Amino acid sequence: MRLGFSPFTTGLDYRTAFELAAELGLFLEIAYDQHEADPRLPGAKELAEMGRSAGVGFTVHLPFVDWNLASLVPSVWRLSLERTQKALEFAGQIGAYCGVLHTGSVPLRHPEALTQAHRLLEQALRALEPTVPLALENLGLDKNDLLETPAELVRLLQAHPQHSFCLDVGHALVQLGPEGPKTYHQLLQDRLIHWHLHDNRGASDEHLPCGEGEVDWAWVRQVLKGFGGTVALEVTGGVEGVRRSVALLRQA
């Protein structure tokens, strides 16, 4: 298992994030949206060199801000697809272990709109040309999220065997309660290549440091023992939030 964290969620600049990652033996999960929005951030070539110098690897969170691969608006859908492909190319250029993808939203909850949104998402998943393994993340946090149940994500991944799964334990807790992470794991463990770890108290997506909410961390540690993929902390709390979370996960 490779363990890392998201500088974006943690609120750390790259200098601090690289220093902390090198010290603790972690990788960094890069938020591609940040690099689109802020030209001052390093490009792919520079970021890759920073990683080599520090001995720090990467995963990439693909776009999710002002983005929707299930959009019923053709121009929005095309732009979202274009941005996702560019992000995948960026991920390949920095040697990322994988890229994490959301599954879109549909504010118009009409049956015909939902059917068309599913078609558009599937069309996008067929059209993408990943340069790194692509992991679809469970959401179910908002009434507008396209996928409302674990079964829908199972069917989507069955239809697209070229892609994999990212289990977000915080999202699963909010969506389904304390058994939510276990439900997703049971259904999709054979497709699981990446985890997002953070905590909450069950009502909202708080991204607390691990151990400060209601996630069953004893269960998480147990199932991670035999996991060979990547695990990214998406916690708030700055440097100490990362340190506390890493310490909890590395308990014997």
Question: Directed axis angle between helix 238-249 and helix 14-24, to 10°?
Answer: 20
Question: CB count, 10 Å around CB of 213?
Answer: 19
In the numeric block, which tokens belong to residue 206? 């708080």
What is the average pLDDT value for the chain, to the nearest integer? 97
Its pTM stands at: 0.98
Asked if 103 contacts 68 with a C-beta cutoff of 8 angstroms, the reply is no
172/247 Cα distance (integer angstroms)? 23
Mean pLDDT of 155-169: 98
pLDDT in tens, 128-148: 999 999 999 999 999 999 999
Confidence of residue 64 (pLDDT cuts 50, 70, 90): very high
- List domains and CATH numbers for the chain: 2-249 (3.20.20.150)
pLDDT in tens, 180-237: 999 999 999 999 999 999 999 999 999 999 999 999 999 999 999 999 999 999 999 9
**Which pLDDT score is estimated for 222?**
97
**Which pLDDT score is estimated for 7?**
98
pLDDT in tens, 5-56: 999 999 999 999 999 999 999 999 999 999 999 999 999 999 999 999 999 9
Residue 188, SS3 per DSSP: helix
Looking at the DSSP assignment, which residues form a beta bridge with residue 232?
Answer: 4, 196
**Nearest by Cα to 118 from 155, 66, 64:** 155
In one-letter notation, the amino acid at residue 77 is W
